[in-house]
Amino acid sequence: MPKPIPTAATAGNTSLNVGVAYARRLFEVVERFGLPRTALLQHARIAPADWEAAQARVPLAALVALFQSALALTGRRDLGLEFGRQVRPGTFDALGYALMTCRNLGEAIGLVPLYRRLVFDSGYSETAFAIDGENAKLAWVVLPEATRAGLPYCDVLAESLIASWLGLGRWIAGTELPLREVRFRHAAPDDPQPFVAFFGCPVRFNAGENSLLFDRRLLVQPLVQADAELNLAMRDAARKAIDRLQGTSTIAGQLRQALLPLMPKCEATLQHAATSLGITPRTLQRRLASADSSFQIVLDATRRELAQVYLRDPALSALDVALLLGYAEQSSFTRAFRNWFGAAPSVWRRG
């Protein structure tokens, strides 16, 4: 018998959520294979009425069950690849539209770790980006503690996300994006050739990670729908969506809002922020620690995100940006920016 979609109250440690748009894309893919969504829901033991009642988020456990059922019912080992072919910005909610309107591919990739929670809740996976010499790597890491908590690693889900990254990248760039290698942490399927054909490069299984490797020069690839004004609006929408996910009462969200007017006055300190929130510094520290965060983590994340926004405004000099972010000296801002992005603000701006 179908059972209700588990909720945070009933799912215990497995109550992490995922954006419902990602799951709905799976329905579209399997329907192309002739599989009705009702059959998929029934096999995954999810009550159709409960699924239809779902709004922006659904339990990650339900998504994993749907992917496993889709593979079992269709027998299509290339299911994740088909998912990647069908992906569009809306699959990733507000994050997808923010990516689409960036200046270039590198800027879009830089947004993924900032707003990834719009798709997958923190606690299940992390997105990592790194540059090593001439190579760039974008990886999706499923956390060991998530699997220990009862959320299994799912081969086809991992393949769908890696394929989606490439599929969306091709769509927003309007061109093929050559890769150097694709890696998956799980075992190879019986026939890996469809994977090689889709990615257009060597594909390694049992590689210990899920990642795309490519020439770093692709980072300057312009995007066909780049729009600076719309991009700022989409980033704002993404931030607000994350605030809604966290809840208006989350201490990290409250702190971020308190920091915005404090930074230009060089008052972005624990004491000033706590006063603005009407609590003591000790209470602020304790609440942040309970949320697995800290004052410095929130401050750095806020500065890092706003630095990208401000530097896109040609009317603002690097010194202007430093002052807006609460740095007393431009050199301090430059050092911080190098640590974040591996380049000086002036170099990043020209890119």
Average pLDDT, the chain: 87
Per-residue H/E/C for the chain: CCECCCCCCCCHHHCCEEEHHHHHHHHHHHHHCCCCHHHHHHHCCECHHHHHHCCCEEEHHHHHHHHHHHHHHHCCCCHHHHHHHHCCHHHHHHHHHHHHCCCEHHHHHHHHHHHHHHCECCCCEEEEEEEECCEEEEEEEECHHHHHCCCCCCHHHHHHHHHHHHHHHHHHHCCCCCCCEEECCCCCCCCCHHHHHHHCCCEECCCCCEEEEEEHHHHHCECCCCCHHHHHHHHHHHHHHHHHHHCCCCHHHHHHHHHHHHHHHCCCCHHHHHHHHCCCHHHHHHHHHHCCCCHHHHHHHHHHHHHHHHHCCCCCCHHHHHHHCCCCCHHHHHHHHHHHHCCCHHHHHHC
* CA distances from residue 161 to 56, 61, 120, 151, 298 in whole angstroms, order as listed: 19, 16, 11, 17, 28
Residue 252's pLDDT is 81
Residues of CATH 1.10.10.60 domain(s) within the chain? 247-350
Residue 273's pLDDT is 92
In the chain, the percentage of residues whose pLDDT exceeds 70 is: 92
Please say whether the structural domain 247-350 has been given the CATH code 1.10.10.10. Answer: no
The pLDDT-based confidence of 247 (bands split at 50, 70, 90) is low
Whether residue 89 has pLDDT greater than 80: yes
Residues of CATH 3.90.1520 domain(s) within the chain? 12-220
pTM reported for the whole predicted model: 0.71
Q: What is the pLDDT of residues 154-184, one digit of tens each?
A: 999 999 999 999 999 999 999 999 999 999 9
* CA distances from residue 220 to 27, 106, 345 in whole angstroms, order as listed: 34, 6, 16
Alpha carbons 63 and 202: distance in angstroms, whole number: 29
pLDDT top residue among 20 and 204: 204
pLDDT top residue among 137 and 13: 137
Residue 9's pLDDT is 30
* CA distances from residue 144 to 129, 163, 318 in whole angstroms, order as listed: 19, 22, 41
Please say whether the structural domain 12-220 has been given the CATH code 2.60.40. Answer: no
Contact 143, 124 (CB under 8 A): yes
